[in-house]
Amino acid sequence: MICNRCKVDKSPDDFIHGKLKCRECYKKCQEYYKTHREQEIARAKKNINKDRVKTNAKKRESIRKNPIAYMLWNVKSRAKKRGIPFNLTHKDIVIPEKCPILGIPLIIGTGHPSPNSPSLDRINPQYGYVKGNVQVISHRANTIKSDATTIELRRVLEHMEKQQLPDLAKEAKNFHKISRYVDKNKKTCEEQS
């Protein structure tokens, strides 16, 4: 049996069970790690980060090339985990240039979700990710929508308008748009059922 450190052919008795290094080398290594612990940890961390940067770049590139496939894959696994019905295919998804609710441009492939990332929205949340019940909106609009009920949105909006803070005017506008959108969908959902 050849030790993978000193490359000397030794008897199996010279190895700790399951290790590829001989006892002698193993001991040396342990001593080295004892005295160079910080250094080795730093080196390992650096390598992990390098790999992460590489995979992130790869991921961004594949999202840019095929954003709909990426979106489907993401939603499908989420639906499976939560037991939500899913029957979408590539043809069921269209990514518009702008968010249909907020009117902000939809930007594909930034690697991590930004307010402008396209996001798949269930028009009626009671139904799953099924044909005819989805559309692509901005991540920002989807977050606001999923967090709040119409009543909550109105209360926040009223509060913001009362305070009349100029830097919140834009956010207030967002809430207006979302709440109109939620109302409209509610109506169509009621009409359907």
Residue 181's CB is within 10 A of a number of other CB atoms, namely 20
Under the binding rule (CB under 5 A), the answer on residue 28 touching Zn ion is: no
3 vs 172, beta carbon nearer Zn ion = 3
Shortest approach of Zn ion to residue 21 CB, angstroms?
6
5 binds Zn ion (CB under 5 A): yes
When binding is defined by CB under 5 A, the residue of 1, 2, 6, 44 that contacts Zn ion is: 6
Q: Is 107 in the site for Zn ion (CB under 5 A)?
A: no
Does residue 48 belong to the site contacting Zn ion (CB under 5 A)?
no
Q: Does 25 bind Zn ion (CB under 5 A)?
A: yes
Position 3 contacts Zn ion (CB under 5 A): yes
Question: Applying CB under 5 A, which part among 22-30, 73-81, 137-145, 170-178 lies near Zn ion?
Answer: 22-30
Minimal distance, residue 111 CB to Zn ion, in Å: 44
Decide if residue 106 touches Zn ion (CB under 5 A): no
User: Per the structure block, which two tokens stand in for 165?
Assistant: 């803070």
- Contact range with Zn ion by CB under 5 A, out of 23-31, 62-70, 122-130, 149-157: 23-31
**9 or 191: CB nearest Zn ion:** 9
Cα gap 17→26, rounded to integer Å? 12
Residue in 121, 116, 168, 123 with CA at minimum distance from that of residue 140: 116
**How far apart are alpha carbons 124 and 91 in whole angstroms?**
19
Place of tokens 């080196």: 43
In sequence order, the 6+-apart residues with CB closer than 8 A to the CB of 148 are: 156, 178
At residue 166, what are phi and psi to the nearest 5 degrees? -60, -35
Question: Distances in Å between the alpha carbon of 128 and those of 8, 81, 86, 113, 165?
Answer: 62, 13, 6, 22, 38
Complex with Zn ion: residue 14 or 161, whichever CB lies closer: 14
Binding residues vs Zn ion (CB under 5 A): 3, 5-6, 22, 25
